[in-house]
Structure 1
Amino acid sequence: MRQLLWWLIGGSRGGENRLRIIRTLQTRPMNTNQLSEELDLNYKTVQHHLEVLEENNVLTTQGGDYGTMYFLTGQMEQNLDILEEVAENANVDDT
């Protein structure tokens, strides 16, 4: 998980947005539109990052189409300490 998070958060251009998405979903599940509004990001940008995070088993979904809700996977929830360590060490600013 550490290597995966380094790649997703610390090693790519979209790391800051992915970190913001993960941290937002820690509080409650949201759909793409809700995340876009909450984070003040373009809908397509959020959609792209959600796809990347889901493909890498960081997020899981419930529902379908427009109402698809995104949740952290159990594995991600168990490794939130690693996420914070990677974010700090990679100097990723998600504000």
Structure 2
Amino acid sequence: MEKALWYLLVGTRGGENRARIIRTIDERPRNANQIAECLEVDYNTVRHHLDMLQDHDVIEAGGDDYGKLYFLTDRFEHHREEFERVLEAM
């Protein structure tokens, strides 16, 4: 998870938006449209970042396609301190 967080947040473009998405989901579970509205980011951009975060086991989805809510994974929660360290380095 440590390497994945460095890659997702520092090693690629879009890291700042991914960090904002993680923070938003941490506040409360949301669907892609709610995240896009909250962050004032294009829906398709949010979908791209959500897919990347899911692929690296940072978030998981629950519910049906349209109203699917996103949650932080237990694995991410276990590595939350590393997430905070990566943010400090950004």
> 1:64 corresponds to which letter in structure 2?
D
- Structure 1 stretches of at least 4 aligned residues deviating more than 2 Å after TM superposition: none
Counterpart for residue 56 of structure 1: 56
Query: Using the alignment, how far apart are the partners of 1:64 and 1:54 within structure 2?
Result: 16
TM-score (normalizing by structure 1): 0.91
1:30 is the counterpart of 2:18: no
- Per-residue deviation, 1:65: 1.4
Query: Using the alignment, how far apart are the partners of 2:9 and 2:71 within structure 1?
Result: 18
> 1:31 corresponds to which letter in structure 2?
N
Query: Using the alignment, how far apart are the partners of 2:86 and 2:15 within structure 1?
Result: 11
Identity %: 48
Query: Using the alignment, how far apart are the partners of 2:28 and 2:40 within structure 1?
Result: 17
Instruction: Report the 3-state secondary structure (helix = DSSP H, G, I; strand = E; otherwise coil) of the residue aligned with 1:67.
Output: coil
Query: Using the alignment, how far apart are the partners of 1:27 and 1:66 within structure 2?
Result: 21
Equivalent pairs, count: 90
**Residues 28-56 of structure 1: per-residue CA shift (max 9 Å, x gap):** 10000000000000000000000010011
Counterpart for residue 6 of structure 1: 6
Any stretches of 5+ residues in structure 2 without a counterpart?
Answer: none
Query: Using the alignment, how far apart are the partners of 2:39 and 2:79 within structure 1?
Result: 23
